[in-house]
Structure 1
Amino acid sequence: MDFSFSEEQEHFRKMLKDFAKQELLPNYTKWDREGVTPKHLWKKLGELGVNGLRIPFDYGGSSADCVTTGIAAEEIGRGDFNLTYAVMLNALIGEIITNHGSEDQKREWLPMISSGEKIVGIAITEPSAGTDAGGIKTTAVHKENVYILNGEKSGISVATSGDAFIIFAKTNPDLGNRGISAFIVPANLPGVETRGYEDLGNIPISRGSIYLNDVEVSEENLIGLENNGFAQVMNGFDLSRLLIGLQCVGAATQSLDETIEHVKNRHSFGKPLAAYQGVSFPIVTHFAQLEMVKWQAYRGLWLRDQGLKHSKESALVKWLGPKYSQEAIHECLLLNGHYAYTKEMPLEQRLRDVIGLEIGDGTAQANQMVIAKDIIGKEFRSY
């Protein structure tokens, strides 16, 4: 067993760590306060090779392995939690188009995703279908050489800032999960409308709803085989859930580092706060929890790189990563005192941002169901 990163991966980590500290961290709260999606930074991440980590060289990407992609999620998460969507979202979409898209789709979309020229979202969730992704009601009716899409997608990241979306719709409602197809749908097509939310956190991600009203897309916009969309995306969630875990751990670890400096320098009753076990022990507890989640995430990414089963590991990381991270950030907020309750410090925003990923890409309960199915057996599942 080898738990070390390669020399190239260590160089990549250092480069991203410096970039996150110098260019992302100072402006992390700016985009939240202004309600802006910093598209120029998505392009900057494209220049650094971050957007196209899971996209082949031939289409402008980096052809990076999953472990390297995890390094990017962790380090960008330390600087700007929301910009890590450029890692996580693009890795998921990049894999879907690379593995299932046509040659024309790959040549048209993958270079623009890699460069950050285009931001592409993925639209599965609906008002009545979240964890039960197979319960979507959006339809795509095949008519001559086009598909006509109708429905509503909700809780979609980059809904109001995305240039296009991978829309999942039912092409054969009688087949259930096996009747779902995926389409690339440009945001400027007639009949596509979006509405943003006033969210607690993740403001720069411009989350919202997408409304599809008789939207016509060409047959060439179908990704892969008709009625095969569900299978295409579910495997991708095993990757995105691992990256989300590292994204959250990155934000929480940065919060711990800042708090450790604070408690070493802040004195109370003649001693540094760090001298009190009531201060140091909670920090140690959160550090230990984050370390365990982090290395389970990298193990899951390694398993994926080897082509080995990793759904259980992915679900575990997605369940505990956001949970332990928000608990750690909350503790850091308390240890920093009343100034941390203001918007002068980034802790309150990190707490708001991380809580959002206790929901997105599978709730704690949904991931526990995946684990139970694996370790107990399908015949004992309650769904």
Structure 2
Amino acid sequence: MHYAFDEDQDTYAHEVRKFAVKTLAPHYQSDDKAAEFRRQLALDMAAMGLTGLRIPEEYGGQEATAVIAGIAAEEVGREDFNAGYLIINTALISDIIVRNATDEQKAAWLPGIASGETIPCICITEPGHGTDAASLELKATPSADATGWTLHGEKTSITLGMASDRAVVLARTGGPGARGVSAFWVDLHHPSVSRSAFDDLGSRAIGRASLHFDGTPVSRADLIGEEGAGFVSVMQGFDYSRAIIGLLCIGAAQASLDEAIQWARDREAFGAPIGTFQGVSFPLAEAATYLKGARHVCFEALWRKDTDQEHSAEAAMAKFWAPKLAADVIHQCLLTIGHIGYSSEHKVGQRLRDVIGLEIGDGTAQVSKLVISRNLLGRKYAP
């Protein structure tokens, strides 16, 4: 068994960290205060190859492994958690397109994602359907000339919804259940699409939004894969992206832990560094231990993806454990740093607000545990 990155992976992690420190970190807090997504962020990340990680080289991407995408997410998460959403979205959506689209569609869609000119999002959640996504109601009505459909309905809680140019939209083209759902690549600048932003606790820079489709036209050229196969093709991608999410959260937690450790060295009380007191040092030791364990789970899921092995359970473990752990660790780091950490001038409070969002988004802990329990017990013996 080998528990270390190889030389190329180590070098890549180092380069991404340098980029994140220089280019991303200076905007982390100001973007949150502005509560607005900067288009330049996508271009900067594209120049570093971070928006084309899972895109084949022939379409302008890096054709990177899943492990490399995980490394990128963790390093970016250390410096600008919200910039990591671009890695999550572009990697997940690119993966869906690469697996299901035609060659003509790939050539038309993927280069813009890789270059940062097209910011994509994925539209699944609806006001009445979040976890039970197979019951979605947004309707794709066949057009009169049978050349396509029009979309009618609302999607909500859409990450990068205010900023995105295109979206993978799941819509009902057939009967009830998953087999009645198709996936479309939709132009969000069409006048029939309207958007409304959320005023969120954290991750304010990503522009979470509701999107309303009032007769939005889509053609057969916009259909991703086969009609009625959209739900399955899209959901398969989440097994991979959930481990990326875990590493993004771990990056933010590790940055906070590093700051708390330095604080425990520098701050003195009763004539000694506060790290000499067990009440301070032991929680930090526990945090380091748990983060190391969660990191291994995330990278095992990605390694399994790269080696074509089943990884649903490991991805689910990463998704429910890492965001919760990150919130717990960052909270403890804030307490360790004390009143300075409670100020909005310090990044630790913003990281805490931000990671909480991924305890909800892209699958709740309850759903992840359901996946794990079915893997452990077998479908017949599990909930």
Q: TM-score range by the shorter chain?
A: over 0.9
Find the aligned partners of 1:237 and 1:360 in 2 and give their Cα distance.
11
Partners in 2 of 1:86 and 1:277 — Cα distance? 40
Partner of 1:4: 4
Name the CA distance, whole Å, in 2 between partners of 1:29 and 1:128.
33
Task: For 1:205, give the aligned amino acid.
Answer: I
Q: Is 1:283 equivalent to 2:288 in the alignment?
A: no
2-structure distance, mates of 1:95, 1:39: 23
Structure 1 residue 311, shift from structure 2 partner? 0.3
> Does structure 1 retain, via aligned residues, the 8 Å contact 2:156–2:211?
yes
Structure 1 counterpart SS, 2:359: coil
- The Cα of 1:140 is off from its aligned counterpart by 0.8
Superposed structure 1 runs of 4+ greater than 6 Å apart: none
Matching residue's letter, 2:149: Y
Give the aligned partner of residue 136 of structure 2.
Answer: 136
**2: CA distance between counterparts of 1:54 and 1:82?**
19
Aligned-pair CA distance for 1:102: 1.9
Which stretch shifts more, 359-368 or 140-149?
140-149
Q: State the distance in 2 between where 1:49 and 1:344 align.
A: 31
Look up the equivalent residue of 1:47 and give its one-letter code.
A
- The aligned counterpart of 2:181 is 180
- Mapping of residues 154-193 of structure 1, within 5 Å: 154-174=156-176, 176-193=177-194
Partner residue in 2 for 1:74: 74
Contact 2:298 2:318 in 1 (8 A): yes
2:333, 2:5 → 1: CA distance?
A: 29
Within 5 Å, give how 1:102-113 maps onto structure 2.
102-113=102-113
TM-score, normalised via structure 1 length: 0.98
Structure 2: tracts of 5 or more residues without a match? none
Partner of 1:99: 99
Task: Report how far residue 87 of structure 1 moved.
Answer: 1.1
Give the Å deviation of 1:220: 0.5
- 1:151 and 2:153 equivalent? yes
2-structure distance, mates of 1:221, 1:213 = 17
| 1:311-359, Cα deviation, whole Å (9 max, x unpaired) | 0000001000001100000011111111211110011110000000000
Amino acid in the other structure paired with 1:362: G
Q: Give how far 1:26 is off.
A: 2.6
What does 1:118-267 correspond to in 2, within 5 Å?
A: 118-143=118-143, 144-174=146-176, 176-267=177-268
Q: What SS does the corresponding residue of 1:336 show, helix, strand or coil? A: helix
Residue pair 2:242, 2:316 contacting (<8 A) in 1 also: yes
1:376 equivalenced with 2:377 (yes/no): yes
Cα distance in structure 2, aligned partners of 1:129 and 1:246: 27
Contact (CA 8 Å) 2:35, 2:206: kept in 1 or not?
no
**What letter is aligned with 1:377?**
G
Q: Secondary structure at the match of 2:331?
A: helix
SS across alignment from 2:341: helix
Residue 46 (structure 1) shift: 0.5
TM-fit CA distance, 1:104:
2.3
C-alpha distance in 1, partners of 2:29/2:39? 15
Gaps of 5+ in 1: none
Cα displacement string for residues 59-114 of structure 1 (whole angstroms, at most 9, x for unaligned residues): 00000000111000100000100001121111100011111112222112111101
Q: Residue 365 of structure 1: CA displacement?
A: 0.5
- How far has the Cα of 1:212 moved from its partner? 0.7
Whether 2:84 is the aligned partner of 1:84: answer yes
Letter in 2 for 1:163: D
SS, match of residue 218 in structure 2? strand
Q: Counterpart of 1:89 in 2: which secondary structure?
A: helix
Indicate the percent of aligned positions where both proteins have the same amino acid. 42
CA-CA distance at 1:7 after TM superposition: 1.7
Q: Give a deviation string over 1:10-46, Cα, whole Å, max 9, x none.
A: 1110001111222222321110011121221211110
User: Matched residue of 1:331: which SS?
Assistant: helix
Q: Which whole-Å CA distance do the structure 1 matches of 2:88 and 2:351 have between them?
A: 17
Kindly provide the amino acid, as one letter, of the partner of residue 98 in structure 2.
T
Report the alpha carbon displacement of residue 6 of structure 1 after superposing the two structures with TM: 2.3
CA deviations 1:228-272 (Å, max 9, x no partner) are 001111110011100000000000000000111111001001000
Give the Å deviation of 1:215.
1.0
Q: Aligned-pair RMSD on alpha carbons?
A: 0.9
Is the CA contact 2:159–2:207 (under 8 Å) kept in the aligned structure 1? Answer: yes
Partner of 2:38: 38
Shift of 1:293: 0.5
Mean Cα displacement is larger for which, 238-247 or 19-28?
19-28
